[in-house]
């Protein structure tokens, strides 16, 4: 075949495959569009080198990328000096409740980071009635797209309760049936939270049994593993084993090693994952780019064995003096293993919010252990735990199979002092670590926030700047992209995001939130039905 003929044949084949004969990459033919992002630096989500070009959007989809002549165009946006990339997909989000609340349904703290899709149902917690959750989102309207995972902890809580008991055969069958239903209703997989009650009471066999049903629908197994410190390697090995036995992709959530004595161990765990990948297994992870973590203070200071019945029941037991005395050395040991801990929220001790435990101890003229025992009486108290090594954080973010994810949730300033990740994760990784500090190439950082999470989920219609994909797009100023949220001022919005399109609608226009509520639930398998 002559070269020219071969080229035409390939082009025809590509057009036939995409189903958009008029959709073009690099052509002289004039392109009609609703919006054209003209003349920017395109970083397309593949990790390939950036290039100069334009992107045309029509009827919610990307219809042309690269160099093309403009036909009838509704709006042209000059993107000179700006980066055009896919909308960011936050694989690990906890907006299950706040996304249905009037004050936070717009997810403005994520739009200002360039996020266009959030994945909920993580760490084993969240709604298990997937159809009802998606319908509620549609009825109410949402500012970003939402893709949901079936949370195993909530599933177990509904079927077995919060006790340590193993499920009966009937209960296991019931959990499998509900998993089946969740997947049919559009869940993208399942999640586990194996440090939380009651997920922690599930053994490996139980998880394999449920994951096997998820695998039948091509879902993933995402896990907050059993231990991220002393038993990190064994916990990663369990996740890999579950993937092998249940035959589904494994995803390790917020990959890290905590507590000073475990610093560096994340490299051993990464090696284990790379071996599994080389043997053909699909294993990936995600990370938030901070050295502090955050969860309930109860989960930080007491093992799951000591939290039977959940945080509320544990707080009740702690009111008993003998029980408190028994737990004191356990809490003392957990406290000693951490560099410092900040109280992020507490209903019972609002004056302590934003203070380190040791600062409270000085102010109250007591021991840090006394402060910890007191704050544990508040079952809902949250903490920020400074327990990771910066070198480990930088090592993990460079791994090509690690996605960027926030582990935060849509929120507004409510007087608490939460982890800044809900406002800063994506600009921090891309602006601070990639562009300013050159820890990794810009293309790799963008991929970790777009194409990679889409691939991990098996989401085929977004994640890339590519013809035929949904027009979820972000345009940012590379010199100005920066996270401004800190541990002391966690509600500061990120800066530098100029334009955000979700399904072709502007969620941010020229740096301003539009209140478009352009998101929608994304149902797994919907494109196949
Ligand atoms: Zn988690």
Beta strands in 97-144 (DSSP E): 115-120
What pLDDT sits at residue 71? 96
Alpha helices in 217-278 (DSSP H): 232-246, 265-278
Q: Each residue of 85-125: pLDDT tens digit?
A: 999 999 999 999 999 999 999 999 999 999 999 999 999 99
Distance 107 CA to ligand 1 centre (A): 20
Cβ–Cβ < 8 Å for 282, 249? yes
What pLDDT sits at residue 6? 41
> Is the peptide bond between 481 and the residue preceding it cis, with omega within 30 degrees of 0?
no
Distance 253 CA to ligand 1 centre (A): 7
Distance 397 CA to ligand 1 centre (A): 17
Torsion of Cα atoms, 50 then 52 then 56 then 61, to 10°: -10
Distance 519 CA to ligand 1 centre (A): 24
Q: Each residue of 283-321: pLDDT tens digit?
A: 999 999 999 999 999 999 999 889 989 999 999 999 999
> Cα-atom radius of gyration of the chain, to the nearest Å?
24
| 8/124: higher pLDDT | 124
Candidates 463, 476, 462, 466; CA nearest to 434 is 476
Per the listing, tokens 């539009």 go with 514
pTM of the model: 0.93
What pLDDT sits at residue 304? 87
**Residue 76: burial class (beta carbons within 10 Å; 0-12, 13-18, 19+):** middle
- Token pair for residue 411? 């929120």
Is residue 476 over pLDDT 60? yes
Sign of CA dihedral 233, 238, 241, 242: negative
Q: Each residue of 188-238: pLDDT tens digit?
A: 999 999 999 999 999 999 999 999 999 999 999 999 999 999 999 999 999
- In sequence order, the 6+-apart residues with CB closer than 8 A to the CB of 475 are 37, 40, 77, 79, 82, 83, 84, 85, 497, 498, 499, 500
Distance 483 CA to ligand 1 centre (A): 22
Distance 429 CA to ligand 1 centre (A): 19
- In sequence order, the 6+-apart residues with CB closer than 8 A to the CB of 279 are none
- Token pair for residue 518? 């352009």
Confidence band, pLDDT 50/70/90 cuts, at residue 27: low
Point out which residues pair with 156 in neighbouring strands: none
Distance 190 CA to ligand 1 centre (A): 13
Beta-carbon-side half-sphere exposure of residue 172 (alpha carbons within 13 Å): 16
Distance 66 CA to ligand 1 centre (A): 39
Distance 314 CA to ligand 1 centre (A): 20
What pLDDT sits at residue 25? 61
Is residue 20 over pLDDT 70? no
Distance 135 CA to ligand 1 centre (A): 26
**Residue 413: burial class (beta carbons within 10 Å; 0-12, 13-18, 19+):** exposed
Q: Each residue of 429-462: pLDDT tens digit?
A: 999 999 999 999 999 999 999 999 999 999 999 9
Point out which residues pair with 403 in neighbouring strands: 286
Distance 124 CA to ligand 1 centre (A): 8
- Token pair for residue 459? 């989401």
- Token pair for residue 529? 């039905």
């Amino acid at each position: 075949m002559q070269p020219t003929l071969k080229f035409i044949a390939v082009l025809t084949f590509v057009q036939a495959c995409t189903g958009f004969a008029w959709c073009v990459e690099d052509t002289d033919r004039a392109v009609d569009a609703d919006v054209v992002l003209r003349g920017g630096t395109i970083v397309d989500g593949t990790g390939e080198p950036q290039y100069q070009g334009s992107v045309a959007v029509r009827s919610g989809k990307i219809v042309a990328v690269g160099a093309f002549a403009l036909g009838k165009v509704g709006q042209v946006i000059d993107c000179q000096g700006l980066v055009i990339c896919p909308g960011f997909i936050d694989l690990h989000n906890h907006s299950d409740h706040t996304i249905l609340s009037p004050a936070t349904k717009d997810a403005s703290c994520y739009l200002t980071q360039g996020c266009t899709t959030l994945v909920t149902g993580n760490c084993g917690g969240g709604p298990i009635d997937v159809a009802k959750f998606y319908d509620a989102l549609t009825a109410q309207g949402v500012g970003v797209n939402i893709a949901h995972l079936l949370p195993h902890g909530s599933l177990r809580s509904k079927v077995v309760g919060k006790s340590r008991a193993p499920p009966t055969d009937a209960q296991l069958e019931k959990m499998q049936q509900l998993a089946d239903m969740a997947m049919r209703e559009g869940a993208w997989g399942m999640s586990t939270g194996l440090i939380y009650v009651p997920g922690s009471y599930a053994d490996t066999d139980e998880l394999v049994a449920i994951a096997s049903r998820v695998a039948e629908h091509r879902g993933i197994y995402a896990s907050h593993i059993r231990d991220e410190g002393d038993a990190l390697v064994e916990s990663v090995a369990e996740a890999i084993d579950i993937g092998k036995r249940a035959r589904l992709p494994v995803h390790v959530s917020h990959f890290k090693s905590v507590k000073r004595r475990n610093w560096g161990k994340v490299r051993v765990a990464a090696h284990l994952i790379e071996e599994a990948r080389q043997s053909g297994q699909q294993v990936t992870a995600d990370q938030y780019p901070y050295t502090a973590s955050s969860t309930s203070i109860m989960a930080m200071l007491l093992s799951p064995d000591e939290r039977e019945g959940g945080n509320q029941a544990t707080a009740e037991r702690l009111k008993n003096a003998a029980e408190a005395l028994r737990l004191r050395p356990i809490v003392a040991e957990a406290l000693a293993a951490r560099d410092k801990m900040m109280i992020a929220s507490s209903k019972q001790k609002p004056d302590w919010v934003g203070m380190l435990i040791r600062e409270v101890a000085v102010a109250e003229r007591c021991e840090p252990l006394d402060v910890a025992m007191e704050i544990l009486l508040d079952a809902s108290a949250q903490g920020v735990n400074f327990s990771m090594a910066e070198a480990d954080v930088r090592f993990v973010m460079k791994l090509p199979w690690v996605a960027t994810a926030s582990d935060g949730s849509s929120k507004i300033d409510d007087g608490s002092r939460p982890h800044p990740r809900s406002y800063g994760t994506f600009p921090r990784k891309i602006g601070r670590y990639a562009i300013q500090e050159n820890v990794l190439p810009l293309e790799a950082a963008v991929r970790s926030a777009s194409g990679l999470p889409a691939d991990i989920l098996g989401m085929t219609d977004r994640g890339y700047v590519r013809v035929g994909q949904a027009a979820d797009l972000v345009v940012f100023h590379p010199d100005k992209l920066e996270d401004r949220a800190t541990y002391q001022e966690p509600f500061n919005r990120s800066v530098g995001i100029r334009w955000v399109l979700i399904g072709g609608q502007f969620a941010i226009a020229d740096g301003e939130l539009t209140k478009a509520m352009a998101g929608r639930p994304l149902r797994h398998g919907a494109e196949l039905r």
